[in-house]
Structure 1
Amino acid sequence: MDEIYTRLDDKQTERQLLAGRLNMLFRDRHAHAYTRQLMEVEARMSREAWGRATDASDLVHGEVISLRTTVLDHRRSTETSESRTALQGQITALQGQVTALQAQVATLQGQQG
């Protein structure tokens, strides 16, 4: 007989535990719904932030390429100017040599003539 009462007490205790858990879950359902809503909002905001970061990265990449092109064009322009200046110096030196040679030719022609 004691065993039957013990089993009944165990069943009663088990039912009380299950009822307590069920009541706790029922009370917490609003908190769980709010937590789910927060997680969904956070996930949406995270996706939006990722999209914006990707757009910003693409924009910066385009700007870097544009600046790189500008720098290369400037470098080529500078190199061209430096080459032009060097060539002008060489032309001036050659013109001086031509003038000197013309003077020598004139002198030689004057001596022969």
Structure 2
Amino acid sequence: MDREIMHDPKREVGYGITDSWDEIVETLQGAVVSTDTELGGYTEQQLLAGRLNMELQAADGRRQTVILELLRIDHRRSTEISELRTALQEQVTTLQGQVTALQAQVTTLQGQQGLA
């Protein structure tokens, strides 16, 4: 078997193994030849794509920073509103107590006038 393979190099070696070098050469023979100009253009495109990607990431980072700052401001305002609402509720409760006390005084005064 080994002698047959040596005499016929294109024949499969076995287990599906073939001479890879021949396949590579055949593939490359059909490939389009690139010039330095084309490769330079490709490299320039890659550099521009990389630069654009970096700019987009930087812009995304700036947007995230702005969003975080807006969230902090929103949280601060929400806390302030909650504190103001609590203070206002306490004032309303105090005023309700005062109104109740005044109503009691009016009732007392009306009762005194009715007795006179």
- TM-score normalised to the size of structure 1? 0.65
1:40 to 45, 54, 78: 54
Could you tell me which residue of structure 1 aligns to residue 101 of structure 2?
87
How far 1:66 moved relative to its partner?
0.4
Could you tell me which residue of structure 1 aligns to residue 73 of structure 2?
59
The structure with the largest helix share of the pair is: 1
- Kindly indicate whether structure 1 or structure 2 has the higher relative contact order, using CA contacts under 8 Å at least 6 residues apart: 2
- TM-score normalised to the size of structure 2? 0.63
CA distance in structure 1 between the aligned counterparts of 2:79 and 2:27, rounded to whole angstroms: 73
Taking only the aligned residue pairs, the percentage that are identical comes to: 7
- CA RMSD between the two structures: 3.6
The number of equivalent residue pairs is 97
In structure 1, the gaps of 5 or more residues are: 1-9, 104-113
What letter matches 1:70 in structure 2?
A: L
Q: Which has the larger radius of gyration?
A: 1
